[in-house]
Amino acid sequence: MRFKSIPYLLIFTSICLLSFIQDGKKKIVFFGDSITELGVKKGGYIDLLNNRIANNGQSNQYEFLGAGIGGNKIYDLYLRLERDVLEKTPDVVVIWVGVNDVWHKSMMGTGTDYDKFGLFYDALVQKIQAKGAKVILVTPAVIGERYDQSNPQDGELNLYANWIRQYAAQKNIALVDCRKLFIEYSTKNNPNQLDKGILTYDRVHLNDAGNQLVANAIWEAIK
């Protein structure tokens, strides 16, 4: 009679192992604006991350979910946090936002006040952490690629990026400082001070080099 139970034991063990592997797959949600919405397309930074884990044979260890919507600002993320992020029960949430909060000021008169940006940002992070997920913060990269600080929104991007840097340091949260990385890259690779075509194709959205740089930087933070 005892030996009869061996098949059941095997099945049970398999299920346990499977669920263990399942548990072992880290679910990472990329939460952001159009840059992240485009990130899941072929050649986008999230697609590149998927290629990387496939090449590494790590596809059973990570699951990447894009949750980017064009035009989103910090409070738009807050509004759709529950539905688009928390319901996916992520292990890690990468928050990359800020370009529209700054850009829409001059473009449509609907940017985000500096103090409100911080209030919503903090509320967002706290709600994610309360669910037990890890947070990784990313600074807004560029609106224009001249590295001499003469792109019209440079002052505000620096201001909002500084806020994120200080917040990350103070709360001991992982930070991918895309703004710093982009300016360093442009300083080396943009001798003619072009305002696009270096890491973006239109001053804001990533070209191949941009997607590669971002994928590499984020991989260092999540691997």
Residue ranges that bind a copy of itself, judged by CB under 8 A: 75-76, 78-79, 104-113, 116, 119-120, 123, 144, 148-159, 162
- Closest distance between a copy of itself and the C-beta of residue 119, in Å? 7
Q: Decide whether 31 or 62 has the Cβ nearer to a copy of itself.
A: 31
| CB contact at 8 A, 48 and 211 | yes
Q: Decide whether 33 or 156 has the Cβ nearer to a copy of itself.
A: 156
Q: Decide whether 62 or 147 has the Cβ nearer to a copy of itself.
A: 147
Burial class (CB in 10 A: 0-12, 13-18, 19+), 53: middle
Q: Decide whether 113 or 220 has the Cβ nearer to a copy of itself.
A: 113
| CB contact at 8 A, 26 and 93 | no
| CB contact at 8 A, 179 and 187 | no
- Closest distance between a copy of itself and the C-beta of residue 11, in Å? 42
- Closest distance between a copy of itself and the C-beta of residue 184, in Å? 15
Question: Among 21, 61, 43, which residue's Cα sits nearest to residue 208?
Answer: 43
- Closest distance between a copy of itself and the C-beta of residue 209, in Å? 23
| CB contact at 8 A, 139 and 98 | yes
The token pair at 151 is 């792109």
- Closest distance between a copy of itself and the C-beta of residue 169, in Å? 16
Greatest extent of the chain over all pairs of C-alpha atoms, in Å: 82
192/122 Cα distance (integer angstroms): 39
Q: Decide whether 157 or 206 has the Cβ nearer to a copy of itself.
A: 157
